[in-house]
Structure 1
């Protein structure tokens, strides 16, 4: 890298930051899409009591909510009851196991990018 002068250095560092942000955003976007798909699969696998109709799968979505920020949500009104249980039913967690799998993978991807 050939840089002459402080202005050129500042501009080059700004460009590098933009490139890194773009790369990290790509990683997070890709992983959030995979997370969403795996959550649907997980939801199907834990619903073993005979009441799977597919609504929960249709309500799971990954959305970009800010710079380098994606949110995976289940908009089914009963998602929390399934995930955490109630006093009448045991939890049938379908998001937390997938999160526990993907969180370390995202950290590894970003770490590998920055090395």
Structure 2
């Protein structure tokens, strides 16, 4: 049995895989940046904004081509996000995440259609 063009097919599939991975990386990067912007905007409305410390300590970190993170380095972010027994929660990270999640999935779906 002889299969003509198998090497060309495998090469084309490999090339398509690299192109899609690059496109996914761009989607991850852009959506992580957009999410960070939303989280920073949400942080304006927390009690921690009085000094601006929480807002200034939110950053984007691209870990790899397929992993991006929005991080709050403020020591009291957890208290603001989840609340304490003395203070109601004032979430600013999760609302940004859930808002951006829909856009991220839409962007990925557009890529595979």
TM-score by shorter chain over 0.5: yes
1:26 aligns with 2:26: yes
Q: Could you list the per-position Cα deviations for residues 31-52 of structure 1 after superposition, in whole angstroms to 9, with x for gaps in the alignment?
A: 11111111111010233x8x52
Q: How does 1:37-48 map to 2 (within 5 A)?
A: 37-47=37-47
Tell me how far 1:5 sits from its aligned partner: 1.3
Q: Which residue of 2 aligns with 1:90?
A: 88
Tell me how far 1:7 sits from its aligned partner: 1.2
1:56 aligns with 2:57: no
Q: Which residue of 2 aligns with 1:105?
A: 103
Compute the TM-score of the two structures, normalised by the length of structure 1. Answer: 0.89
1:13 aligns with 2:25: no
RMSD: 1.5
Structure 2 unaligned residues grouped into runs of 5+? none
Tell me how far 1:67 sits from its aligned partner: 3.3
Distance in structure 2 (CA, Å) of the matches to 1:23 and 1:67: 10
Secondary structure of 1:45's aligned partner: coil
Q: Which residue of 2 aligns with 1:80?
A: 78
Structure 1 unaligned residues grouped into runs of 5+? none
Compute the TM-score of the two structures, normalised by the length of structure 2. Answer: 0.90
Give the number of equivalent residue pairs: 110
Q: Could you list the per-position Cα deviations for residues 70-104 of structure 1 after superposition, in whole angstroms to 9, with x for gaps in the alignment?
A: 01110111100100001111100001111111111
Distance in structure 2 (CA, Å) of the matches to 1:55 and 1:80: 14
Tell me how far 1:62 sits from its aligned partner: 1.0
